[in-house]
Structure 1
Amino acid sequence: MNERDFADLAVGHALHALSEADERAYQEALAGNPHWDSHVRDAADAVAAISAAVEPVEPPPSVRASLFARISDLPQEPAASVPAAAEGEDFAAAGPAPVVAKSDAVPAGSARARSWGARRWFALAASFAAVLVLGFGAVTVGQLFSPPAAVVALQEIEKAPDAQSASTTLPDGTVATAHWSPSTGRSVLVTDGMPALESDKTYELWFVRDQTPIAAGTFTPDADGNATAVLDGEMHAGDVIAVTIEPAGGSPDGTPSTAPVLAVATA
């Protein structure tokens, strides 16, 4: 089993939707490849986040019909043939039928060898079904099981050999941590406890380089004040990463309109 196949199974496991055989394959693959556990966490976190954040609604009947129509188009394996019973045969008197063990050996190109492609469709259908149950239209399947770009960037930085970070804590308890890596050319700000803003305001990121602020994008924390935001542009050694409060959409003239509410020194 390759890593992509395992990621598909991790989705089904998070949804409690694997067959007994697939669950066994999933557990065996995880035991043999513990470094794949990031797929397990990503799938579980996504399902938990959606179930906690989205109010259930009734999906349109047409969506359910469309989903099951697509599933019905999948190729079906023929059921094993069963000999017809002789007329008047007494099944109780005949006793239990003998059980014949099946061989695990599967020739190349057989139904089991082809099943991984069907399993990917199963993961898609199961994910779509979860979206229908948890809140139709709230997210796409890709959003549900693909990490946000900022999280991917943070993971790349943390894996880099030259990864660095610096933090600052404000008097109100807000914690902001800057992560960066010269080799990846990326930088990310992670916040915890940022105060909520009015709907016509946003937080804007800045590189402050030689006393000159350079706009680096906007971000909106979640209800708990948490955010993971990628800074636009390349960070230079010694830059200060600052955050200001600006009109929705960001500063209209490309310069800060307020004093920074936080600043993280990187040197």
Structure 2
Amino acid sequence: MNERDFADLAVGHALNALTEADERAYQEALAGHPHWDRHVRGASDAVTALSSTVEPVEPPPSVRASVFARISALPQQSSAPLDSAVDDEDYAAADRAEVAFEREAVAETASAASGWGARRWFALAASFAAVLVLGFGAVTVSQLLAPPAAVVALQQIEDAPDAQSASATMPDGTVATAHWSPSLGQSVLVTDDMPAPAEGKTYELWFVRGETPIAAGTFEPDADGHATAVLQGEMRIGDVIAVTVEPDGGSPDGTPSTTPVVAVATA
């Protein structure tokens, strides 16, 4: 299984939509490639964002029946072109606006052991679109499932020919890994097992350049202590990437008010 296939399965896992075979393939791939967990976090963040912004709406029986009938009728595997997977059904029959899809060319490279091919994904996208139209208007599926900007930045850094990284483990067990690319001038900090800041506090990122701290944005880890945060501004080789605990919104005077809880040297 390649990384793109795993990223697809990660979305299905986040949606609790995998078959038993797909779930086994997903777990085996994750165990063999633990660094692919960024796709897991990205998919989970997308689903969480959806659930937190959409008010539950009960779709009309006609729309619900149409969507699920379409999904159940699709074969588990098919070599049919993606454009023939779903015909242009008239949603007006359900008194709802027609949903337009921008169909992108997607290679059907799903694992042979998996039934999660392109047609299944297109059907899932159709079901999302129907719910979105009922819930809060025109939001595209690509926007819904697009990974967070920090995940995109991390992927760009890792794909760069001069990508570098360094890790540090703090006394409290927090593991922080800095990723950067000099050619991109971009850096990302990834944390694991990082405790949530106290109420009214946030974590602030800094480039420490010699004796000078330069504010680089704020972030908060998720419930599991994971965070993928882009540092604002251009990193220079030799900077120390540090994190301090500051009031909500960041340090009021632009300088650290506490001792760093995380410090990762980049040289």
The verdict on a shared fold, with TM-score over 0.5 as the criterion, is yes
Shift in alpha-carbon separation, 1:171–1:250, aligned structure 2, 3 A: same
The separation in 1 between residues aligned to 2:199 and 2:45, in whole angstroms, is 27
The separation in 1 between residues aligned to 2:8 and 2:62, in whole angstroms, is 19
**Aligned-CA RMSD value:** 4.7
Q: Does the Cα contact within 8 Å between 1:202 and 1:219 map onto a contact in 2?
A: yes
Structure 1 residues 73-92: Cα deviation after superposition (integer angstroms, max 9, x where no partner): xxxxxxxxxxxxxxxxxxxx
Name the residue aligned to 1:203.
203
* Match for residue 46 of structure 1 among 43, 57, 75: 43
The separation in 1 between residues aligned to 2:41 and 2:219, in whole angstroms, is 25
Name the residue aligned to 1:101.
none
Report the Cα offset of residue 16 of structure 1: 5.2
Report the Cα offset of residue 8 of structure 1: 9.6
Name the residue aligned to 1:68.
63
Name the residue aligned to 1:112.
84
Q: Could you tell me the TM-score, scaled by structure 2's length?
A: 0.58
Structure 1 residues 230-260: Cα deviation after superposition (integer angstroms, max 9, x where no partner): 0000001110101000000111111111111
Name the residue aligned to 2:161.
161
The structure having more radius of gyration, on CA atoms, is: 1
Name the residue aligned to 1:188.
188
Unpaired segments of 5 or more residues in structure 2?
1-6, 19-35, 68-79, 89-100, 104-118
Structure 1 residues 125-144: Cα deviation after superposition (integer angstroms, max 9, x where no partner): 32256789xxx78xx75564
Shift in alpha-carbon separation, 1:121–1:218, aligned structure 2, 3 A: same
Shift in alpha-carbon separation, 1:201–1:129, aligned structure 2, 3 A: farther
Letter in 2 for 1:215: A
| Counterpart secondary structure, 1:158 | helix
Shift in alpha-carbon separation, 1:258–1:66, aligned structure 2, 3 A: farther
Q: Could you tell me the TM-score, scaled by structure 1's length?
A: 0.58
The separation in 1 between residues aligned to 2:199 and 2:47, in whole angstroms, is 23
Q: Percent identity?
A: 62
Name the residue aligned to 1:219.
219
The separation in 2 between residues aligned to 1:48 and 1:197, in whole angstroms, is 19
Q: Does the Cα contact within 8 Å between 2:213 and 2:256 map onto a contact in 1?
A: yes
Shift in alpha-carbon separation, 1:144–1:235, aligned structure 2, 3 A: same
Unpaired segments of 5 or more residues in structure 1?
1-6, 18-37, 73-105
